[in-house]
Structure formats: structure tokens, C-alpha cells
Amino acid sequence: MPETTHVDYSTKIPNNVGLMDDQRVLKALEQWHPGYIDWWMTMGPEGFQTSDVYLRTAVSIDPKGWAKFDYVKMPDYRWGILLAPRHDGRQVNFGAHKGEPAWQEVPGEYRAMLRRLIVVQGDTEPASVEQQRFLGKTAPSLYDMRNLFQVNVEEGRHLWAMVYLLHKYFGKDGREEADELLNRRSGDDDKPRMLGAFNEETPDWLSFFMFTFFTDRDGKMQLESLAQSGFDPLSRTCRFMLTEEAHHMFVGETGVGRAIESTCLAMKAAGIEDPNDIEAVRRLGVIDLPTMQKKANLHFSLSLDLFGSEVSTNAANYYNSGVKGRFQETRIDDDHQLTNAVYPVSKLVDGRIKMVDEPALTAINMRLRDDYVADCSKGVERWNKVIEKAGVNFRLKLPHVAFHRHIGEFQNVKASPDGEVLSDGDWSKRKDQWLPSKADGDFIQSLMAPCWERGKFASWIAPPKVGIDNKGGDFEYVKIHQA
């Protein structure tokens, strides 16, 4: 069967890539499948594998109406391989090969590079599921629990998307990499996940929402850049992943937004005017706004590290080779080769943070990070609208890009959220004002009691404006049958 917009459900692995006629890859994936299920059962959402969850499953790649909703037990979810439609005549749109037909096979000279990018992308997907595996137990509502599980199964599908590329285009070493993707573990001392942020804990629901807002948004930016790839199968698979990614960021933005709303309403009802009166606010069973700011500081800075170094020859090579482009590459008005162009990069010069022009080719990571920061800012402004509307005098803001960094230009400096360079001593004294302290974590943990009654929401989070799939907030999004 040729590639279609319809998804073939007759094979064990739903797909629109004609797996029926590609027995070699079908067999390889069928062999990988039990290991995946084993991973899902041991590292996936703990305690809910037998529950019925109201999930969306992709049934088509038609942008209008690609998903259907129904109750599914997560281990029975139909993880499929879905690529966006092929565009006839698509070209490599940037770099040294600009104007050549897009590649349907992996160019030999870029094989190692492409494999590396696909493995890094693939590694983040199961990592996030591992990080979130205990959260079901403290879900603030059935609605939120369902959203967590929706994100989890889709990250599982994103792993499948990368594993398909490895099996189909990278032969024996691709199969080995696919196996390794099931062997690494988030936070493990011996076999950690590849990128920093994916070895951190997601200890509570506020972190989960911040993670889906900030870190899934890095996912969006990276997928957008890979969707520009001259390697067409990678481009197409990333394009479809992006349709799912929108929901993940929705979960994050509305999750934090609802927590803010609950806090502001409780403050108003109790007549608390000072948002910094943390003790008084916490006594109301809601999370104070300064603590939300600290969590945002943490997750934003960890996510900035995911863009790599501001100045990177790796990034220049990816771009020049045509394997990884810029955000919305084809909409940018320039030569798409960047032979003589420069781009301003924030750097540490003589102990001061300054903008310095660098060759645009080596500043590709910086540019993507700038696009990311702009996207984050818009979301933060929407949170500020919630605060403003409630009449509370407080504003959230993104910390400076030099704050709390572990990768790139600022990894060896200590800076405040305002971008002031600090001595180690000053940093140690003040860091608990800017990052969640142990006491903050303990307080948030104290609010993380499960709230699983239909239509009920934990005190610290407001109900959503609308439910999922036109259902109300009181719909039974998860029928819990605990194992």
C-alpha cells in the first residue's frame, strides 16, 4: 500500500508508511516492540496501567480531524508511525546543498550527523515519561491525570517515530541505537539520558506544568528546526510530531495559569494584598506567586541549556550540511547559506555580559534560543494577564539568560535573574531567593494530595475553562482500576 493520509491499522504497528510492503523494517520493529512494552510497563505511569484513560489516538494525518478520543488502557495504546504528507518537488532549503532535491535516503557523508541528531531527539522522549512516572498518584483531578497520560503516550509515540527512522535508514547501527534508547534511564548514574534537563526530577505537578511549558517548548523549537531538514523522512516525521506537541504546551501553560488563578482568588477572598506574604498565602492551601517564579526560573534555565553552546561548530555543520535548519527557515528573508552574515550573541567579556557579533553560521543555536525566549515571553505575559485580572500586584518574568546555566557561555559564571554577575559567596547567600529551596519543595509536596473525585480539583489549582473533546470538567477522564 502506498503512503496515504489514512493510517493502516491492519499491522501490529499502525502506520502510514506502507510497512506491510516493507517486511524487513516491519520485522525489525516487531522485534523491538516487546522491549518497548517492557520499558513502558516498568518505567511508564506507575499504578495506572490497568486504568481506562480517555485518550486521543492519531488516526489520520489530515490536519483537520486527525485524532479520535476513546477509553484506552495505556499499554494497549496504538503507538503508530505517522509521517506528514510528502511534498512533491521539495528541496533542500538551506546550506551548501540549497536547491537540490530533498533526500529520500541518508547521504553517506551525513550519516553519522543525522544518526546523532535522531538519537538525541529520540532519547528525550522516553526520558520525559520516566521523569513523570510517579505523578499520577498525586494528580489534582481526573482531568489533569488524563492530560499527563496523554502527554506520556505521545512522548512514547515520539520515541517510535525516531526508532522507525533508525530501523529504516541506519541498518545495524540504527538497530543498536534503538535498543540503547530503551536501556538508558533518566537520572541513572551509569546510563543517564543524554541531555541535562532530562536527568532532573519532576517531583510535583507544578514542575510538570513548568516542564511542559518550558521543556516541551524546546521540543517544539528543535522539531521545527529538524522539520526543515533536507532529509525528507526526518522532516515529515517532525512535522507530524509538532501537531501533537501543541497540546503538551497547552497543558503546561493552562496548568500554571490555573494554579495562578487559584492563588489569586484565594488571596482576594482572604483579603491578602501582599503577594510576598508567603506564610499567609500558603496557609490558604495555594502556592504563593514568588515560589511559582522560582520554579519558572529553574525550568527556564534548565531548558536554555538544551540549545547547546551559543557559538557552536556542530550547529554550523548541521546547517551547512542541510540537516538542521533555523526556526521557520523558509520564511526568513536572506540567502539561507549565511556565508558572510553575522548574528549578535550574548557573551561574557571582561566579566560583563555583552552582545558580540559572531558569524551567523556558528550562532545558529543562539538564534534558535532567541526565538525560543520570545515564544516563552508571550506565554509568561498570558500568565500575567491572569494575575492582573484578579487584581493582584505581581508580575512573573523570565530570568536573564546568564542565570543558573550549565552549558555554553555562562556555565562558569554566577548571575542573578537580572543578569548581574555575582561572586560565588553572593550567589550561595542569595540563590534560595531565586531557585526553589528544600522548604519550598516540601511545601509544594504537602499540597500534592490526590484529588480523584469526578469534577473535583485540588485547592491549589482552578478548574479548566473547558474540558477535553467538548466534555466538561466533571467528565470521568480516567476510570481508575489500580493494579
Out of 59, 67, 120, 373, the residue judged to bind ligand BYC by CB under 6 A: 120
What contacts 75, CB < 8 A, 6 or more positions away? Answer: 37, 40, 41, 44, 49
Q: Which does 329 bind (CB under 5 to 8 A by kind): Fe ion, ligand BYC, none?
A: none
Q: How far is the CB of 131 from ligand BYC (least distance, A)?
A: 8
**Is residue 376 part of the contact set for ligand BYC (CB under 6 A)?**
no
Q: What is the DSSP code string of 252-298?
A: HHHHHHHHHHHHHHHHHHHT---TT-HHHHHTTTS--HHHHHHHHHH
Q: Which of residues 387-416 bind ligand BYC (CB under 6 A)?
A: 407
Q: What is the DSSP code string of 156-192?
A: HHHHHHHHHHHHHHSHHHHHHHHHHHHH--TT-SSS-
**Is residue 57 part of the contact set for ligand BYC (CB under 6 A)?**
no
- String marking each residue 269-308 x if it binds ligand BYC according to CB under 6 A: ------------------------------------xxxx
Phi, psi of 414 (to 5 degrees): -105, 125
Q: Which does 222 bind (CB under 5 to 8 A by kind): ligand BYC, Fe ion, none?
A: ligand BYC
Distance, in Å, from the CA atom of 151 to the CA atom of 387, rounded to the nearest integer, reads 27
**Is residue 216 part of the contact set for Fe ion (CB under 5 A)?**
yes
Out of 219, 255, 379, 464, the residue judged to bind ligand BYC by CB under 6 A: 219
Q: Report yes or no: 320 and 364 within 8 Å, Cβ to Cβ.
A: no
**Is residue 315 part of the contact set for ligand BYC (CB under 6 A)?**
yes
Distance, in Å, from the CA atom of 167 to the CA atom of 15, rounded to the nearest integer, reads 14
Q: How far is the CB of 306 from ligand BYC (least distance, A)?
A: 5
Number of CB atoms found within 10 A of residue 16's CB: 24
Cell 531538514: give the residue: 229
**Is residue 370 part of the contact set for ligand BYC (CB under 6 A)?**
no
**Cell output for 177:** 541505537
Residues facing residue 15 across a β-bridge:
8, 81
**Is residue 124 part of the contact set for ligand BYC (CB under 6 A)?**
yes
Nearer to ligand BYC, 224 or 261 (CB): 224
Distance, in Å, from the CA atom of 157 to the CA atom of 196, rounded to the nearest integer, reads 22
CA 321, 102, 218: angle at the middle one, nearest 5?
A: 60
Q: How far is the CB of 59 from ligand BYC (least distance, A)?
A: 22
Q: Which of residues 175-204 bind ligand BYC (CB under 6 A)?
A: 195-196
Q: What is the CA radius of gyration of the chain?
A: 23
**Is residue 158 part of the contact set for Fe ion (CB under 5 A)?**
yes
**Is residue 312 part of the contact set for ligand BYC (CB under 6 A)?**
yes
Q: Report yes or no: 108 and 42 within 8 Å, Cβ to Cβ.
A: no
**Is residue 216 part of the contact set for ligand BYC (CB under 6 A)?**
yes
Q: Which range of residues in 208-216, 348-356, 361-369, 410-418 is near Fe ion by CB under 5 A?
A: 208-216
Q: Report yes or no: 54 and 478 within 8 Å, Cβ to Cβ.
A: yes
What contacts 48, CB < 8 A, 6 or more positions away? Answer: 74, 136, 145, 149, 478, 480, 482, 483
Q: Which does 315 bind (CB under 5 to 8 A by kind): ligand BYC, Fe ion, none?
A: ligand BYC
Q: How far is the CB of 372 from ligand BYC (least distance, A)?
A: 11
Q: Can you tell me whether residue 459 is helix, strand or coil?
A: coil
Q: Which of residues 337-366 bind ligand BYC (CB under 6 A)?
A: 365
**Is residue 155 part of the contact set for ligand BYC (CB under 6 A)?**
yes
Nearer to ligand BYC, 155 or 440 (CB): 155
**Is residue 253 part of the contact set for ligand BYC (CB under 6 A)?**
no
Q: Can you tell me whether residue 339 is helix, strand or coil?
A: coil
Q: How far is the CB of 147 from ligand BYC (least distance, A)?
A: 14
**Is residue 114 part of the contact set for ligand BYC (CB under 6 A)?**
no
Ranked by CB distance to ligand BYC, the top (closest) residue is 308
Q: Which does 403 bind (CB under 5 to 8 A by kind): ligand BYC, Fe ion, none?
A: none
Element (H, E) at 54: strand 52-58
Residues in contact with ligand BYC by CB under 6 A are 117, 120-121, 124-125, 128, 155, 195-196, 215-216, 218-219, 222, 305-309, 312, 314-315, 324, 365, 407
Contact positions toward Fe ion, by CB under 5 A?
Answer: 125, 155, 158, 216, 219, 248
